[in-house]
Structure 1
């Protein structure tokens, strides 16, 4: 038996390795040619210290307190030289990937479909040359064919498949948008690098509130695919806001998730004064269905910077401090990942 271990590095790079039963994360990484920090490999120096808050594992009793104290272990700190996984795990490595003689993985793919699903949104489907591991919510950098430019897009598909999908904002005159709408053909070759990002779904142990703006819906579609496959016994509520009626996309997919996931609900919101939508305004105007739970809630937010700033301001004004708050801002040409854990 083996387990999938996601190594999340300080520079946002994620590398997946296979860890055999009874094998330490450090040994598995070395076997996969990733040199994690290490001086002693005996639980004495503490050089290989990281964190793990997702997955089951055993640390044994061979390490000394100076390397890892009981208090640190209770906080989720681990020593990769002592950590023996008993399930898939996510391990935070507090150094850059380049310091471990690894970096962003490159994946070849071909265009499977390009669908203009609205005037402002493009669905891109890619068939990868190999299965692609990522955490639901993460993104890939896709090189624009014929250039050295890349654009960052969140997965909207479930992890662990060669069939990848992305929800992309259609930017008039944009480099990637122009390629997809005007040039891309089925079978065209693409180069992807990643996965990247600290915006991903953590273990669901309490109610979850998801807030999406425009094509910021993409990572939540991936998260919902993950929850559908793995089950969820906590309330999950999504509020999806757009500017105009025609910007609402993938609503049928959300309705399908609501039918298949007992604890999932969603609401759509349109900002334009000209809209005939029953819920007008911004996501912060329609929080009545949100499981805020006096702060016992995990919040995930993905949208353009003004939306992110407005939501952060809303929580401050309401005096609500969520158990955790994860957010990602994006602009038409660049995705900037930021995370705040309350």
Structure 2
């Protein structure tokens, strides 16, 4: 038996390692050629200090308070040389991955499907090579190299970690490098290279109400998060904390994957969602921006974890709204995606 430990480095790279029962995270990392910071390995110097965001572990009592104070330990700080996991864990490592002699992972795969979901959205499915299933935290992204262009583009997974088929929602930008490739040249079976996982936007352990705010293809990481929550519920691990998603788009026909959201609502009794359309000429029952539909009920008097993913104007609008209304969620995680305009990477 072993536990999976996600090591999140400060440069956004995530490396997954296996940790044996009774083994320290530091020893497990070194065994797998990840050189975490370390001077003493005896709980004396504090060089290997990090932060455990989720998971169970035992720190024992053989370290000095100078290396890790009681206050730090109460806040989730750990010494990886003393930390012995009792479950899968996510650990923040406050150095760049390059300093630990580890690098971002790379896998190969073949195009399984390219589907035009709407005028502005494309779904890409990639069958990963055998043994190349990517471990990632729901919400993270990878870089996908555009064949023949010599550049890559970054996309969040909309599929579950560890699956042999990875899926992505991609905004269709006229003249865009990836958009042009997918709509004009991509062929089933064509080979693609993915590097990652990357990013600090991912689902944390759900211990209180959750509000998800998605704009356009920023829906993708939430599909992965909801898939994870649905799987946990199937395994009897899910809780009953309310989870509400507000999904905003510019036009009616830009709403995609609503059938998937409906399926999640059936699988997760605590999950609800609302769709919002900006277009004033729309007959949609909820018009405007996501901030117009964040009533007091979904904010739970601030006792809520907020996740936000969308284009920069949407992210900025939500940030300003929170500031103007004095809203301070228990935790707030957000990611902006900036579509590459035509010719930018030509």
Specify the TM-score bucket, using the shorter chain as the normaliser: over 0.9
CA contact (8 A) 1:120 1:169 kept: yes
| 2:14 aligned with 1:19 | no
Give the deviation of 1:290 after TM superposition.
4.8
Give the deviation of 1:206 after TM superposition.
0.5
Q: Paired residue for 2:262?
A: 255
Q: Paired residue for 2:169?
A: 167
Instruction: Give the 5 Å matches for 1:89-108.
Output: 89-108=89-108
Instruction: Give the 5 Å matches for 1:245-284.
Output: 245-284=252-291
CA contact (8 A) 2:126 2:165 kept: yes
Q: Paired residue for 1:35?
A: 35
Q: Give aligned pairs, total.
A: 334
CA distance in 2, matches of 1:297, 1:136: 19
Instruction: Give the 5 Å matches for 1:210-249.
Output: 210-230=212-232, 231-249=238-256
Output one character per residue of 1:147-180: Cα deviation in whole Å (capped at 9) or x when no partner: 3201000000011212100000001010001111
CA contact (8 A) 1:237 1:290 kept: no
CA distance in 2, matches of 1:84, 1:306: 43
Output one character per residue of 1:161-202: Cα deviation in whole Å (capped at 9) or x when no partner: 121000000010100011111111111110000000000011
Q: What is the SS of the residue equivalent to 1:216?
A: helix
Q: Paired residue for 2:325?
A: 318
Match of 1:200 among 199, 202, 209: 202
CA distance in 2, matches of 1:86, 1:160: 21
Q: Paired residue for 1:68?
A: 68
Instruction: Give the 5 Å matches for 1:110-121.
Output: 110-121=110-121
CA distance in 1, matches of 2:59, 2:147: 46
Output one character per residue of 1:96-128: Cα deviation in whole Å (capped at 9) or x when no partner: 000000111111111111101111000000111
CA contact (8 A) 1:244 1:275 kept: yes
Give the deviation of 1:232 after TM superposition.
3.1
Q: Paired residue for 1:186?
A: 188
CA contact (8 A) 2:107 2:193 kept: yes
CA distance in 2, matches of 1:53, 1:142: 28
| 2:293 aligned with 1:286 | yes
Mind listing any 5+ residue stretches in structure 2 that lack a counterpart?
A: 233-237, 342-346
Give the deviation of 1:53 after TM superposition.
2.0
CA distance in 2, matches of 1:70, 1:261: 38
CA contact (8 A) 1:209 1:290 kept: no
Cα RMSD of the aligned pairs, angstroms, is 1.1
CA contact (8 A) 1:109 1:190 kept: yes
CA distance in 1, matches of 2:27, 2:35: 9
CA contact (8 A) 1:208 1:298 kept: yes
Output one character per residue of 1:255-309: Cα deviation in whole Å (capped at 9) or x when no partner: 0000110100000000011211111111111123752111100000001111111
| 2:153 aligned with 1:151 | yes
CA contact (8 A) 2:54 2:204 kept: yes
Q: Paired residue for 1:298?
A: 305
CA distance in 2, matches of 1:111, 1:152: 16
Q: What is the SS of the residue equivalent to 1:131?
A: coil
CA contact (8 A) 2:55 2:89 kept: yes
Q: What is the SS of the residue equivalent to 2:143?
A: strand
CA distance in 2, matches of 1:311, 1:30: 42
CA contact (8 A) 2:5 2:16 kept: yes
Output one character per residue of 1:35-63: Cα deviation in whole Å (capped at 9) or x when no partner: 00011111111110000020000111111
